[in-house]
């Protein structure tokens, strides 16, 4: 299915959109309230509709429970990605929104956060963070007893899985140094934004993104919920001060970072006290991971061992600060110009659209070439032919407001024909905002205008709206394909192009 089955339903006249879908024999997938257009400080609903940042990360949003159920196949056990499987206290699922974006959804046990306001505020605070070193939090859901967090999905597993669970594959030394630096940088960034506490930092919280870059999970930045009985499931790795007074401090995070360094050095989960005994005994080589087969710099390893020893000091005040961690690890990066996926030994993330599986029409070919001029000419020539049947107006609807609205559309058509795309956006927006008529062609035309004005996120939104009005219209899928390509979501763009071609093939087969 296509993009419009996300939480993005039309903000103007949603009941009109539902009526049009029923005329075409389609029922709307979800029954959401319209998106708010107010300037409230509450996060927007349905993150995919909002502007992406420079890293392609959507802003923090509130998601509906129905969206997240659909994304995770009703929280199917097949979608669980928690390292402990369905035995984890708070399950993490992978999911895919209807705009094709992959997400990770953390589902807390029932009433883990009794106060929904506290949960929303805490999630909102973490959701303000945006950094390429983080698996960023992009949303949350509070619905009845449900408390869910939505984050960017990292497809290449955790540090713990790479180090502890794959006997025949090891992480080379350069990547281990990169992991140490990137996580130190992530913690330093969070600290600069007054998020100094990170709960239970360990190898399962370090994730690898689609390009193989290590990132720190945002979930550990949330305060422990009511059912969080302890800092760690294993007391041997718990900061000493937490055992004494039950409090997590910024120095506790440094201690936990020291355990990450031990994991990277040894490839095993060694209790800190045991590792410190080995370090004091000058048994550094015994500490090193045998899977490295000696392929590491002894000088660099000595620096990392010394840094781990400092982080694991019993007295919090004797541990280094985050700046020292970054400053110590940065000079050790000897392969800074080599992409992470190369060092990690994973396939390169696909950047080019795959070849469509079906023959394409002139519109499809123009979209595949990203030829916006050709798309413009096709939309001008097609005019409003595909809008037939999408609006049946009663006599009472032909008011002065109606005439004014049609005049705005007419002015938009003239501006569109004359390639005055900013004016066309303004005129078409006047037509859409009235909401008496719903035109998929207007949405498609305004989508192209946005593309030509370098606003691909707005273009994707309009293409999704066109599909909501006319669910089987190939043009709406084609326009989504172009917008997704502009957003560098190339695999999804290729999928959308194939879907559009399939709809055109179906049209031709039934002579529509």
First to last CA, the chain: 20
pTM, entire model: 0.63
**Distance between CA atoms of residues 367 and 54, nearest Å:** 24
What strand order describes the sheet that includes 146-152?
61-62, 137-143, 146-152, 102-107, 91-96
> Which candidate in 200, 209, 289, 462 is catalytic?
200
pLDDT by residue (tens digit) across 284-293? 788 999 999 9
What pLDDT was estimated at residue 353?
43
Domain 61-152 has CATH 3.90.10.10: no
**Distance between CA atoms of residues 150 and 123, nearest Å:** 10
Pinpoint the residues of the chain covered by CATH 1.25.40.10. 362-388+395-510
What pLDDT was estimated at residue 269?
85
**Distance between CA atoms of residues 452 and 314, nearest Å:** 60
Cβ atoms of residues 213 and 132 within 8 Å: yes
Over the range 260-275, which residues count as b (16 or more CB within 10 Å of their CB) and which as e? Answer: bbbbbbbbebbebeeb
And the tokens for 444?
Answer: 């498609």
Indicate the fold that domain 362-388+395-510 takes in CATH. Answer: 1.25.40
Pinpoint the residues of the chain covered by CATH 3.30.200.20. 61-152
Domain 157-344 has CATH 3.40.50.11540: no
Residue 200 appears among annotated catalytic residues: yes
Q: Which residues make Cβ contacts (< 8 Å) with residue 269, sequence separation at least 6? A: 164, 203, 237, 263
Q: One digit per residue, pLDDT tens: the chain, 512 residues? A: 344 433 333 333 333 334 444 443 333 333 333 333 233 334 555 444 344 555 567 889 999 999 999 999 899 988 999 866 556 678 899 998 877 789 999 998 777 888 899 999 999 999 999 999 999 999 999 999 899 999 999 999 999 989 987 666 789 999 999 999 999 999 999 999 999 999 889 999 999 999 999 999 999 998 765 544 445 556 678 888 888 887 888 999 999 999 999 999 999 888 898 888 888 877 778 899 999 999 999 999 999 999 999 999 999 999 999 999 999 999 999 899 999 999 998 887 654 444 445 567 888 888 888 888 888 888 888 887 777 655 544 444 456 667 777 888 999 999 999 999 999 999 999 888 876 778 899 999 999 999 999 999 999 999 999 988 888 899 999 999 999 999 888 888 888 888 888 888 887 776 65
And the tokens for 23?
Answer: 């005329």
**Distance between CA atoms of residues 469 and 19, nearest Å:** 9
What pLDDT was estimated at residue 407?
87
Q: Is 109 helix (H, G, I), strand (E, B) or coil?
A: coil
Pinpoint the residues of the chain covered by CATH 1.10.510.10. 157-344
What pLDDT was estimated at residue 468?
86
DSSP codes of every residue in 305-364 = HHHHHHHT-SSGGGS--HHHHHHHHGGG-TTTTS-HHHHHT-PPPP-SPPPPSS---HHH
**Distance between CA atoms of residues 145 and 159, nearest Å:** 32
- CA–CA distances in Å: residue 434 to residues 12, 16, 149, 150, 488: 8, 12, 36, 34, 33
């Amino acid at each position: 299915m296509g993009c419009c089955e996300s939480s993005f339903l039309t903000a103007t006249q949603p009941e009109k959109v539902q009526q049009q879908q029923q005329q075409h024999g389609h029922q709307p997938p979800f029954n959401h309230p319209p998106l708010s257009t107010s300037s409230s400080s509450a996060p927007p609903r349905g993150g995919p509709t909002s502007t992406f940042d420079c890293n392609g990360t959507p802003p923090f949003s509130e998601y509906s429970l129905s969206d997240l159920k659909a994304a995770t196949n009703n929280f199917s056990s097949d979608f669980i990605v928690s390292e402990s499987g369905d035995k984890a206290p708070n399950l993490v699922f992978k999911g895919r929104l209807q705009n094709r974006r992959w997400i990770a959804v953390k589902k807390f046990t029932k009433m883990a956060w009794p106060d929904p306001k506290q949960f929303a505020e805490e999630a909102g605070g973490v959701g303000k963070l945006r950094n390429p070193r983080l698996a960023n939090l992009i949303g949350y859901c509070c619905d009845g007893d449900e408390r869910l967090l939505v984050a960017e999905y990292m497809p290449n597993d955790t540090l713990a899985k790479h180090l502890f669970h794959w006997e025949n594959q090891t992480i080379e030394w350069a990547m281990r140094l990169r992991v140490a630096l990137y996580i130190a940088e992530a913690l330093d960034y969070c600290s600069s934004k007054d998020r100094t506490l990170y709960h239970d930092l360990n190898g399962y919280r370090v994730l690898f993104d689609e390009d193989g870059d290590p990132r720190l999970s945002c979930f550990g930045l949330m305060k422990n919920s009511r059912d969080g009985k302890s800092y760690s499931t294993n007391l041997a790795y718990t900061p000493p001060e937490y055992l004494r007074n039950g409090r997590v401090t910024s120095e506790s995070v440094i201690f936990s970072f020291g355990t990450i360094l031990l994991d990277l050095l040894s490839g095993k989960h060694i209790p800190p006290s045991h590792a410190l005994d080995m370090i004091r005994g000058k048994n550094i080589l015994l500490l090193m991971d045998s899977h490295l087969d000696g392929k590491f710099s002894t000088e660099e390893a000595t620096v990392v061992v010394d840094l781990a020893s400092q982080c694991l000091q019993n007295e919090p005040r004797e541990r280094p600060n985050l700046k020292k961690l970054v400053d110590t690890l940065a000079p050790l990066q000897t392969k800074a110009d080599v992409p992470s996926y190369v060092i990690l030994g994973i396939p390169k993330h696909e950047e080019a659209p795959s070849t469509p599986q079906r023959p394409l029409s002139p519109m499809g070919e123009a979209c595949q070439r990203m030829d916006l001029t050709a798309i413009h000419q096709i939309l001008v020539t097609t005019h409003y032919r595909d809008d037939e049947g999408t609006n049946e107006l009663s006599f009472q609807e032909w008011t002065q407001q109606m005439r004014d609205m049609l005049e705005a559309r007419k002015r938009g058509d003239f501006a569109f024909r004359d390639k005055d795309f900013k004016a066309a956006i303004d005129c078409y927006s006047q037509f859409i905002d009235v909401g008496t008529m719903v035109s998929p062609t207007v949405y498609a035309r305004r989508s192209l205008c946005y593309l030509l004005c370098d606003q691909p996120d707005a273009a994707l939104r309009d293409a999704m709206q066109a599909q909501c009005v006319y669910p089987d219209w190939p043009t709406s899928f084609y326009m989504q394909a172009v917008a997704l390509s502009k957003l560098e979501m190339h695999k999804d763009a290729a999928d959308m192009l194939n879907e559009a071609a399939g709809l055109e093939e179906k049209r031709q087969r039934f002579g529509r």
